[in-house]
Amino acid sequence: MPTRDQYEAVHRQGLKVVLRLVEEAVWQMAGPEDYQRPLIALVDGLRALRIPFHGCGLYLLEPAEDAPKVVCQYAWNGESWNQTTVGEDHYLMVAVWRDGEARYYRDVGAEDPFRQAAGLQRRFGHTIRSALHIPFAHGVLTVVSASPAAFSRRDIDLLKDLAETLPGLFRRMDDLRELESRDRQLEHAQRLELVGQVAASTAHEVNNYLSVITGYCELLLNNKPDSAERTRLETVLTAARHTLAINSRLLDLARGEEGARHPASINDLITEATGLISYQLERAGVELVQDLAPDLPPVPVQALQVQQVLINLVQNSRDAAIDSGRQVRVCVRTKEESGWVLVEVEDDGPGIPLSLRERVFEPFFTTKGKGQGTGLGLSVCRTIAENHGARLYLQEQMHGTCVVLALPVSAATEVAPLRMAN
């Protein structure tokens, strides 16, 4: 008859095969959400090692300041894995994970200080008599049985060895997430490069048409129109000249050149910028309020670029009015704070969902419908702000949206750190 040592050798050899299969399944993962493959390999390994289990669970812990969040992946009799949050057994899993020691309940009905029996029965759909919980770096591996005292010392040792392979699964998931993030960043960079090439190639053509507009505006102004007509023509002429300047900026960017900055009154820039789009705001049902602090120091800026940012921010509020179908109030506010001039563009529209707040400045990200936005507006605005040594960020508030443009008063001297509530 085979000796105990021979049994142990066979079991250890089988364990090596199972560990290799689980590790291969981990490396075959196609993406961070493709975790079913290694979990199925884990259950197949339990069967191959003849561990008398009826259910298997993987409790994943996400550390937090107050209490870790616990999510469970579980399978009964080797069927497909399902996910759920945990109930009363949350405290047991946290205790096992923090202690770093395996816990074996030979008869859950007789010893159940954490009241896990009911939770295990709901999860696995069967009365559980014995449960083994083995901690690892990212959570707890649980193996259960409908029989009391189901697991031997050999089973426990083999399961501990299997649990040691699980951190590799999570490292692989982290690596795949990082690869996906890098792929998205590369795609964004390539798309931005393409946008730049297209913009530079079309800038000269656009300038030709704008020259026709400016020429006719100047000709009509020379005919001495009445006051109202003159005001409208001057507005069109100013907008066309600003567009010409923006095109010149595109060409400068394509050539790697930066325009000069000059001290300017931020209040004057706001007044001129909002004047250019006042008719659009009125038609969209937007009430524009300007709360401009007097005696602000001049800020060194490329005026047209800053006005481009301001117009974009106000028009975003206009779009919010259109989407919500009701009148929206937009307030443009300025103030000085510790060497910074702050421009706040605040509206009482529907606001930005908390889940999207971190993404609104990403290139090509937009909440608008197909064909209604490029997703470049806020990304370009933040780039302009950063080129000025400025900051562009969301101010946290209960209702509506508030975007803040913070401009340093002087580019030559250090200013106090900016306190950004976002």
Q: Is pLDDT above 60 for 397?
A: yes
Whole-model pTM?
0.46
pLDDT tens-digit readout, 280-336:
788 777 888 999 999 899 999 888 788 888 888 888 877 766 666 667 788 999 999
Which range, of 11-20, 48-57, 243-252, 363-372, averages the lowest pLDDT? Answer: 363-372
CA distances to 135, 154, 403 from 278, rounded to whole Å, are 63, 79, 19
Q: Is pLDDT above 60 for 255?
A: no
Q: For all residues of the chain together, what is the average pLDDT?
A: 78
Strands of 254-352, DSSP E = 262-264, 286-291, 299-301, 328-337, 340-347
pLDDT tens-digit readout, 111-133:
777 778 887 888 777 788 999 99
What does the pLDDT read at residue 399?
78
At 301 the three-state DSSP class reads: strand
Task: For 111-126, give the DSSP string.
Answer: --TT-HHHHHHHHHTS
Question: Any bridge partners for residue 394, and if so which?
Answer: 403
Domains of the chain with bracketed CATH = 4-164 (3.30.450.40), 183-257 (1.10.287), 260-422 (3.30.565.10)
Q: Is pLDDT above 70 for 200?
A: no
